[in-house]
Amino acid sequence: MNAINNVVLRATLSASNMSHDKISEYGIRTINHPMNFTQKQMNIEILRQGVVSILHSISIIFALSFVPASFTLYLIEERVSHSKHLLLVSGVNRLIFWIEEFIWDIVAYTISAFLCILIFVMFNEESYISPTNLPGVILLFLLYGWSCIPLMYLLSYIFTIPSSAFVGLACGNMFIGIVTTVTTFVLGAFEDEELRAVHHVIKEVFLIFPHYCLGSGILDLAKNHLASASLLNLDIEYKSNIFEWNLLGKPLLCMFVLGNIFFLLNLAIEFGFFTWITHFSMGSAVEDSDGDEEDDVAAEKERIHRGDLAGDILVIKDLTKVYKYSQVPSVKRINVGVKEGECFGLLGINGAGKTTTFKMLTGATRVTSGDATVGGYSVVTNMSKVQSRLGYCPQFDALDPLLTPREHLILYGRIRNIPSFVLNKKVDLTIQQMGLGYYSNKLSGTLSGGNKRKLSAAIALIGSPPLIFLDEPTTGMDPKARRFLWTKIQDIVRNGTSVVLTSHSMEECQALCTRLTIMVNGQFKCIGSSQHLKNKYGAGYRIVIRCREDNVKTVKEFMKVTIKSSRLIEEHYNQLRYEIPEGKLSDIFRQLEQGKQRNILDDYSLSQTTLEEVFLRFASEQSNEPIRRRLNRPVFLKKCLSCCRGNKEE
Ligand SMILES: Nc1ncnc2c1ncn2[C@@H]1O[C@H](COP(=O)(O)OP(=O)(O)OP(=O)(O)O)[C@@H](O)[C@H]1O
């Protein structure tokens, strides 16, 4: 309207031949000054701004729910694949592991948090980026990461599938953050006395959630900014310290304290504090071994108890493991000493207790009773010292799928303190010897089962630790790689390294082990060299006879008469299999040759009892009772336990 008036005025002046410069001096200037808000308008405006602020809080909680949850992906993968355990066994300090994990995650989180702040800057959100409020916003974001990341570490123990953990934890973060913040905001808007009382209580209780601290902090900051802006409209200057107790002071302090508590709880789980408490509260009495102990087992036990341990790098004394909620021990009072430069074999059928023994010796599970020492250090009291002396090839490949074989070997070589000037050469040599050259730069997640096994064995050997545990190292390997590994094991044993090996291949045990034991139901049934075991527990010789179909009866008669101690153990069509417990080898040959000359038998073979037969004899004693007697724990209890025990199995 004013502009039209000015146009009319200047057109009239122009018609009266006034100079152009002068015309611009004439005109009407209008100034619009809004009236101050009424009380009602003010309330509506505050409510409108409040709703905008709660939307900001929700958006921030939403964005920052995903980032901390994503840090559990790798953590769970490492725990479930046991690659974390392998790192610890190779000498990584548990405390350093978690500090490094936290530093890495907090740096990644800080980048995301600063991107959120950048969005505020781009949209010029005065409530958050004004010089007085910006430091508060930065601190709120950083302390949220400080407290929420260790909380995610704690909750990650509940999960075994990384993707489920990510979805579950991100949704949980969002749910808690949004529900707590919106609830307190809505309750705060009511005038009712009772609701106000509830509002005050839950505002304090919700401070145990970092998500609420962040949401309420953002909201309070925006409300405070709105109040000072509104008062400024009334020409009243209102300045407040945003770090005061009732504004940001309380949530900031709570997040700082919560972060410390969550991190310490996580360390307590990592160091087995809770399993330690339950271990002592549940008791661990296991009666002595069964009376029918073989004399070589008893002799070894006697040697260990006597303390005659000269030259033994590994000493196992009455080592026992009873898993929680299992009524029978998985490993029961075993005793053995392994000398420097000795390869000791642990044989036993599935479920005999071999892996459990390794788990106790490497710190993956707690010892129920008894002890074992490596180089004089106890696995019960000084596991970190024990671990620094171990190489371990677990039963299932504990590899990081995102690292290549070369990167794995460099990583473990560095952990084992191989000087950097020889490390690359050593790694190249190992890769070439293990036949991994073609795959050395491929992700280990894409390797075949056999190649993964080769890599696991190479990791155990790199750095030449004095004691190496190999849990079925050659399973799935091709014959060439298997032969190479055998040669390699023989070499390192010759050079003074001790090896404890489990295998289901009798051929492997005979080729490598200086002494071996057969485990049945968690107990050692015999100990000695393979020849000693065959002599002692083998039933003499085996004869396989082939004859004409119509001659079977005659052969049976012949054997009954000529080799009286023989016992028929198998009969298939024209093939008979006999066991001869005793007798001179030359006499047996002579008698069989006579039978052949008399055309009673066509053909025969004579052999000593094999280790496999000794093994089968003992293995037949293994009962599946332990498995049947294990109780069925409720699922929720299992999850609760897995959370409390962290990476320790019980
Ligand atoms: N985490 C566990 N909780 C309860 N019982 C377990 C646990 N792990 C193993 N066991 C039980 O302990 C016994 C010994 O198991 P272990 O894995 O040591 O046998 P193994 O000799 O290594 O068998 P395999 O040759 O199949 O590897 C089994 O009866 C098994 O069911």
Q: Most confidently modeled of 83-92, 257-266, 311-320?
A: 257-266
Handedness of CA 196, 201, 202, 203 (dihedral sign): positive
127 alpha carbon, distance to own chain's centre: 44
* 155 CA → ligand 1 middle, Å: 27
Q: Please name the residue whose Cα sits nearest to atom 19 of ligand 1.
A: 351
Q: Residue 171: pLDDT above 90?
A: yes
- Whether 358 lines ligand 1, by a CB cut-off of 6 Å, is no
* 351 CA → ligand 1 middle, Å: 5
The pLDDT of residue 645: 47
- Whether 329 lines ligand 1, by a CB cut-off of 6 Å, is no
Q: 199, 237 in Cβ contact below 8 A?
A: no
* 522 CA → ligand 1 middle, Å: 9
Q: Most confidently modeled of 173-182, 224-233, 521-530?
A: 173-182
Q: Given ligand 1 and candidates 356, 631, 638, which is best to mutate, with the most ligand atoms within 8 Å of its CB? A: 356
Q: Given ligand 1 and candidates 278, 320, 327, 330, which is best to mutate, with the most ligand atoms within 8 Å of its CB? A: 330
- Residue 292 — pLDDT band, cuts 50, 70, 90? low
For 483-495, write each residue's pLDDT tens digit: 888 888 898 899 8
Q: Please name the residue whose Cα sits nearest to atom 17 of ligand 1.
A: 355
- Residue 325 — pLDDT band, cuts 50, 70, 90? confident
Q: Residue 560: pLDDT above 80?
A: yes
Q: What angle do CA 246, 250, 252 make, to 5 degrees?
A: 130
Helix (H), strand (E) at residue 58 = helix 39-80
Q: Please name the residue whose Cα sits nearest to atom 8 of ligand 1.
A: 356
- Whether 352 lines ligand 1, by a CB cut-off of 6 Å, is yes
- How far apart CA 89 and CA 390 sit, in angstroms, is 7
458 alpha carbon, distance to own chain's centre: 20
**Can you tell me whether residue 287 is helix, strand or coil?**
coil
- Residue 621 — pLDDT band, cuts 50, 70, 90? low
Q: Please name the residue whose Cα sits nearest to atom 26 of ligand 1.
A: 350
- Whether 439 lines ligand 1, by a CB cut-off of 6 Å, is no
The pLDDT of residue 628: 44
**Can you tell me whether residue 578 is helix, strand or coil?**
strand
Q: Which two tokens stand for residue 39?
A: 């009380």
For 75-129, write each residue's pLDDT tens digit: 999 999 888 999 988 888 899 999 999 999 999 999 999 999 999 899 888 888 8
- Residue 633 — pLDDT band, cuts 50, 70, 90? very low
568 strand-pairing partners: 578
- Whether 348 lines ligand 1, by a CB cut-off of 6 Å, is yes
Would the pTM of this model clear 0.90, i.e. be above it?
Answer: no
- Whether 360 lines ligand 1, by a CB cut-off of 6 Å, is no
- How far apart CA 650 and CA 642 sit, in angstroms, is 9
- Identity at 351, one-letter amino acid code: G
Domain 539-608 CATH class label: alpha beta
Ligand 1 atom closest to 321 (CA): 12
Residues of the chain within CATH 3.40.50.300 domain(s) are: 295-529
Q: 503, 472 in Cβ contact below 8 A?
A: yes
* 352 CA → ligand 1 middle, Å: 7
- Residue 592 — pLDDT band, cuts 50, 70, 90? confident
Question: Does domain 295-529 match CATH 3.40.50.300?
Answer: yes
Q: Please name the residue whose Cα sits nearest to atom 12 of ligand 1.
A: 330
Average pLDDT over residues 437-453: 90
Q: Please name the residue whose Cα sits nearest to atom 24 of ligand 1.
A: 350
Per-residue three-class SS string for 168-208: HHHHHHHHHHHHHHHHHHHHHCCCCHHHHHHHHHHHHHHHH
Lowest-confidence range among 160-174, 306-320, 605-619?
A: 605-619
The pLDDT of residue 200: 92
The pLDDT of residue 481: 79
- Whether 337 lines ligand 1, by a CB cut-off of 6 Å, is no
Residue scoring higher pLDDT (456 or 583): 456
Look up the ipTM and state it. 0.96
Q: 397, 72 in Cβ contact below 8 A?
A: no
The pLDDT of residue 291: 56
Handedness of CA 328, 333, 338, 342 (dihedral sign): negative
- How far apart CA 566 and CA 559 sit, in angstroms, is 7
- Whether 164 lines ligand 1, by a CB cut-off of 6 Å, is no
Residues of the chain within CATH 3.30.70.1150 domain(s) are: 539-608
* 471 CA → ligand 1 middle, Å: 13
- Whether 326 lines ligand 1, by a CB cut-off of 6 Å, is yes
- Whether 350 lines ligand 1, by a CB cut-off of 6 Å, is yes
Residue scoring higher pLDDT (636 or 358): 358
The pLDDT of residue 539: 65
- Residue 622 — pLDDT band, cuts 50, 70, 90? low
Q: Residue 306: pLDDT above 60?
A: yes
Ligand 1 atom closest to 357 (CA): 18
Ligand 1 atom closest to 626 (CA): 29
Q: What is the DSSP string of 226-255?
A: HHHHHHHHTT------TTSIIIIIHHHHHH
Q: Please name the residue whose Cα sits nearest to atom 7 of ligand 1.
A: 323
Ligand 1 atom closest to 356 (CA): 18
- Whether 649 lines ligand 1, by a CB cut-off of 6 Å, is yes
Lowest-confidence range among 31-40, 217-226, 509-518, 536-545?
A: 31-40
Ligand 1 atom closest to 331 (CA): 14
- Whether 363 lines ligand 1, by a CB cut-off of 6 Å, is no
Q: Please name the residue whose Cα sits nearest to atom 25 of ligand 1.
A: 350
Q: Given ligand 1 and candidates 82, 355, 361, 520, which is best to mutate, with the most ligand atoms within 8 Å of its CB? A: 355
For 616, other C-beta atoms within 10 Å of its C-beta total 13
Long-range own/partner contacts, residues 556-565 (CB < 8 A, 24 or more apart): 558/595, 558/600, 558/601, 562/591, 562/594, 562/595, 563/588, 563/591
- How far apart CA 501 and CA 480 sit, in angstroms, is 19
- Whether 482 lines ligand 1, by a CB cut-off of 6 Å, is no
- Residue 287 — pLDDT band, cuts 50, 70, 90? low
Ligand 1 atom closest to 395 (CA): 27
The pLDDT of residue 627: 44
Q: Residue 547: pLDDT above 90?
A: no
